[in-house]
Structures are given as C-alpha cells and as structure tokens.
A and B are shown apart, each in its own frame.
Chain A
Amino acid sequence: MKLRAILGYTAAALTLLVALLTPFLLMGIFSNGVAALPLHVDEVYSGGPTVRAIPMGAYSIGVHRPVYPHFLQSEKPFVQLDWQPVSALPQHVSDVVDIDGDGQPDVRVSFDVPTDPKAPLLVNVESMNPRYPAMSNVGKDKFSRLIVRVDNAILVRVPLARQ
C-alpha cells in the first residue's frame, strides 16, 4: 500500500513537471512528432502532388497527379491544373493542355483573369479526349470541378470520366 502511494505521488509530481515543461518543450516535441508521422492531408483538399510543369512562356501550367476519392466520398475523380504566376497571365487564357503527357492534347481550358483577385472566376473546358469531359461556365461548385484563385495561382480541377 505504501509503495502504491509512493508511486502515486511520484506520478503526480511527474504530471506537474509535464505541465511546467509543456509550453517550453513538450508542446514542440509533440507537435514535431505529429508532423514527422508519414501523414498527408486528403488530396481531395490539397489536389495531390504536382507531377509535371508545362512551360508556357511567362507562366507555366502545373499538372497534378489524378485524385481518386475514397470509398463513399461524395466527390468524383479529378485532376488539378495550376496556372502560375497569376501576374504573368494574359487577360484571357485559352490553353491546350496535354494532361496525361502522351503528346496528344486532352483539353482546351479557357478563362478570364480579372484584375480584382476577389472577383469570381468561371472556366470552360473543351474536351479533346473522352477521359476528360467538357465543362461550361463552372465556378467553384465542388472540389472535383472548380476554378479558384489560391495565392499566386489559378487552380482548375477537371473531373475524370469513368473508365
């Protein structure tokens, strides 16, 4: 019984020590530990990693790896394309993009670039490959089909047709 009491008080003292060390040491250690875990944010949000950059003169188009939603996730598969930097884009963009890198054009993406960064964007996608369906006047209705401005890039997500 005495040993249990000694262990109890020792644990209580250690707990107090944990509290005192938290802002100076432990919070950082725990946060770094979590950050070091092999985890990533769901690609439906992040858009997945960039696999290729297509140079277009003053700007470039980043092509991301296709994203396939999990299990019962409500989104459709999509691929994300980034136009950046926004400052180098013309007032109207209309680019043919080879998404899968096979040397054949897959889509023509057209959108206006307003000078006001908060102005709403709309995109048209003309399909040149049945894998990438056309989109007309799409804003930001779903994660899998949208055009948005994020920092210094304009992101377009093109849904993939069912194979």
Chain B
Amino acid sequence: MATDARTLPLAIRPAPRGILRSLLLTLPILIWSLLMFGNPQAQADRLSHIAGAITALFMTALFFMMMRTHNTYRWRRIFFVSLGILFPIGFIHNLLVMRGSMGIPIEEMIAGRTPFCFMPIPLLILPAVFTRTLVFPGAIVSNSHSIAAMVGIWLAMTLVMGKGWCSYACFFGGIEEGVAAIPPRAKIRKLDPRWRYLPWAVLLAMVLLSLALFEPAYCMWLCPFKAVTEYVAARSTIGLVQNVIFILLFAGLVIALPFLTKKRTQCAFFCPFGAFQSIFNKISIFEVKINQSRCKPCLLCQNACPNLSLSKESVARGETLLSCMKCGACVDACPRQAVVWHIKGTQIAWKPERARLMFLYGAWALAVMFGGSIIAQGLATILHFVV
C-alpha cells in the first residue's frame, strides 16, 4: 500500500526552515537558473524567452519549497510530472513542423536525422564493441539530438546522480509518476517482489537481440513511449504490429498499472535502461540508508517507494536495493527520520541533511539544465499556440 507522507502526524516531521534561511539556500539555484535561461544573446524569440523565465522561476520555487519543508519527493514530483507532460508536447510539435508526422520516414533514418534518446544506450554497446558499428539510424555528431551529444549529457549526469537519472532527468518517467499520483489509494496493493527482476531480464534479452538483429531491438519492438514520441511509420504489417505493441504497453504499463498500484510500474517492472542505470548506483557517492538505531521497522518506506527498491530484508540490512532512484519518497515517508540521505564513507547518523543538500544541489542543477530546457521548450510550444 502506498503511503502519503502528508498523512503522518506533523509533530514528528522536522519543523519548516525559516524563510530567510530557505531563501539563502535557494540562492545558488536561482543564480544557476538565471545562467541557464537568462542569456539575452540566445537565438530565440520573445515567447521562448518568456518560457525560459517561467521555467527558471518554477525550478527555483520548487527548490525553495524543498529547502523550506525538508520534503524532497513532493516537490521533485511536480517538476518530474511537468517534464513528463511537456516533453511530448514540445517534441511532437517539432516533429509535426519538421516532417508533418510522428512516424519516422525511411528517408529520415537514411539521412541520420532520427533524434537519439538515452534508452538505446545499453543496446548499442555490444555491437559497437564487436563491430565498431552504432545500430541506430541517427547521426554521431551534428546537432543536439545526435548520439554523441546525448551520450555526453548522460555520462556527466550519471556521474553526479547514478540512478537518480530516473528521478531527475528521464523525460518519460514523469507520465507514469503523474498517473500514479491521481488515485488516493492503490487498488492493487499486493505486488510480487519477484517482478522487480523483470527489467534485468528485459535488459539482457534486448542487449542480446540488438546484437543478433543489429537494430535497437527495444526501440523497434517494446518501447511504450513510442506512443507519445515518434514511432516506426507503419509501412507494412510488421510496422503496424510494432505500433500496436507500443500503444498496448503504454496503456498497460504507463497508464493502467500506475493508476491501480500507485507505483512507477514501467520503471519498476520493465525498463531495461533503468536496470542498466542501476549499475551506476555502485559508483555514485550519494545513496539512501536506513539508520537502524531509529528504525522501528514499520515499513512505511517500503510502501512509499514507487520503484519497489526496498524490501524487508534490505530494510533490515539498513540499505535500499540497487535499483533505488533517489526520489526521496522513503526519506519523506519515515515518521522517525530513520531513512536518510547519505554520503558513502561517512557515518549514517551524522548530518544527513548535509548529504541531502549536497546531492540535491548537484541533481537539481542538472535537472534545471536538462529537464528545465525541455520544460521551457514545451511551454514555448504552448505559448505559441495560445498567444
């Protein structure tokens, strides 16, 4: 059962920070946001500048609320859901303007103009190692949608946040997180914990299939988000089958199951990129730990986790599972403040707020840069329609 941290008694939650202190802590993010969106020399029209300014204020305001309330998950979720909604708006609008369709025509693939998202990264590794070939119909360099540009962004952000990518950068996860937030209670409360191994199986199968078929197999056959981005133009029966699979997976894993379970079911049970990204939690210096001297254990943290990244056993060991997305839901749900942000090598009980701040400054700075620019693009698209 998912538990909302807001239902916990206020007396045992940390008192809000003072407004002045919260403002001071937010100042670096305000300056950063202005740096990212306040460039008057940038080649953009007036509405894009307005969208940039709104985004800068939005991201700064959310960070201020994180500082003021000590709550990470609720405010991060607002950003993440906005990202999930606005990314398809900006992206689909661009596709329609450029090519008049969401379908990828074969000419665009041959010209290397298919935008590269991060999902195929693990699928490209084996073919690249064995044959020096990238099995993706895009360009290695040339523009911001090229393979090198996306891999560059992903590498830098992964160094900073590990699997936090899935909570602060992924432009797909926000859709299901938004859907999961709609119902007050989960209709399906009992989930077999063995499902959490499925993304690893999907990853293994897709990596091997991509090597054998020499195509990004997940993108061609299983990506639910093709339903809201760009899909294979249905030139044949196979193309039609692929599109039906995309729509069914999107309807099931991104809409229906998150609504019924209040979990990010696509991320928890299916996403091969998420499984791959879990590996980088091993090198990330930030993690979430459970202070066993404070833990009851009531398992509210386990219930709050949208990704099934906590189990009875892991709570008993005082740690999250490898798949932890660092979203902060468990930290905010714990009434005894036993679940804490932690820097590897330091004592668990010693200044967890310092660890939270160090993680959040890095993660939020990159969220402003990457997710913020996507939000601004989506907002600009809406403004162009409205104004």
Contact = CB atoms under 8 A, between A and B. Distances in A.
Nearest to B147: A34
A47 B236 CA distance: 22
A143 interface: yes
**Secondary structure call for the B interface:** helix
A30 B156 contact: yes
B41 interface: no
A136 to B, nearest CB: 18
Given A32-B148, A41-B137, A73 B106 contact: no
Contact of A149 (B36, B107, B112): B107
Interface residues of A, number: 52
Interface stretch (A20-28, A103-111, A122-130): A20-28
B302 to A, nearest CB: 26
A140 interface: yes
A141 interface: yes
Contacts of B234: none
B294 to A, nearest CB: 20
Interface of A: 1, 4-5, 7-9, 11-13, 15-16, 18-20, 22-23, 26-35, 37-47, 69-74, 140-141, 143, 146, 148-151, 155
Given A15-B285, A45-B110, A8 B344 contact: yes
- Chain B interface size band reads 35 or more
B156 A26 contact: yes
Interface in B334-356: 343-347, 350, 355
A46 B112 CA distance: 7
B362 A16 contact: yes
A26 B370 CA distance: 14
B92 interface: no
B111 A72 contact: no
Contact of B214 (A38, A39, A44, A140): A44
Interface of B: 36, 106-107, 109-112, 127-128, 131-141, 147-149, 151-153, 155-157, 159-160, 211-215, 235-236, 284-286, 343-347, 350, 355, 358-359, 361-363, 365-366, 369
A12 B160 CA distance: 9
Contacts of B365: 19-20, 22
B362 A15 contact: yes
B343 A9 contact: yes
B155 A30 contact: yes
Given A19-B366, A31-B149, A9 B346 contact: yes
Most chain A C-beta atoms within 10 Å of own C-beta, residue among B155, B156, B213, B344? B156
B150 to A, nearest CB: 8
Contact of B215 (A1, A34, A40, A73): A73
Given A42-B134, A47-B110, A11 B147 contact: no
Nearest to A45: B137
